[in-house]
Chains A and B, each alone.
Chain A
Amino acid sequence: GESVGLHLPTLSVQEGDNSIINCAYSNSASDYFIWYKQESGKGPQFIIDIRSNMDKRQGQRVTVLLNKTVKHLSLQIAATQPGDSAVYFCAETRSWGKLQFGAGTQVVVTP
């Protein structure tokens, strides 16, 4: 069935290095993608989003890349900090506000 999935369940990154989190999606009709950060015991926190008519979008220390040809989405975090340790989810919207989440990647920042 249609799904949004991730390649890596856990990513260990040294403080100061760049992180890359990947996500694959299967529904080519999806028109909006979002990355969320979730810290333990909390709700998801919006990081950055991208529409299907774009291939790149930058925020503060984060960049999202969308490759529609291979249905791939990535989140790049520059100069990863200890506070970036969390689980990261990609999500797609198929209708207004209704999200389908990927499996999630645990990012662990080591000193």
Chain B
Amino acid sequence: GAVVSQHPSRVICKSGTSVKIECRSLDFQATTMFWYRQFPKQSLMLMATSNEGSKATYEQGVEKDKFLINHASLTLSTLTVTSAHPEDSSFYICSAPRTGGTEAFFGQGTRLTVV
């Protein structure tokens, strides 16, 4: 079964509004989670590293004020897309490595459409 759960799977929002996406590790604690973005027919691009109890680390070119990340517990990280615009429409995917392991488990992804 899924070890990382992402919610919602699909969301449509109006331009200018904010959307929150949740990523939960189901049967293990994840002090670190990762957020990726994937445009159609393209690869996954790392956006940021979510760190439990501290600030997220953003990749170059990713606006931290637009993509707010909160890792409030050892099993939950949230990504909030603020003031969403149509160009933010994408597939957002989170991953969480199990502590002591190297494999990263992925969520099911969230399809965001901004209209």
Contacts and interface: CB of A to CB of B under 8 A. Distances in A.
Identify which of B42, B44, B97, B108 gathers the most chain A CB atoms within 10 Å of its CB.
B44
Interface of B: prevailing SS: strand
A111 interface: no
7 nearest CB pairs, A to B: A97-B97, A43-B106, A43-B109, A101-B43, A97-B104, A101-B44, A44-B106
B46 A93 contact: no
A49 B102 contact: yes
Interface residues of A, number: 21
A44 B44 CA distance: 9
A97 B34 contact: yes
A41 interface: yes
A102 B38 CA distance: 12
A89 B6 contact: no
Contacts of B64: none
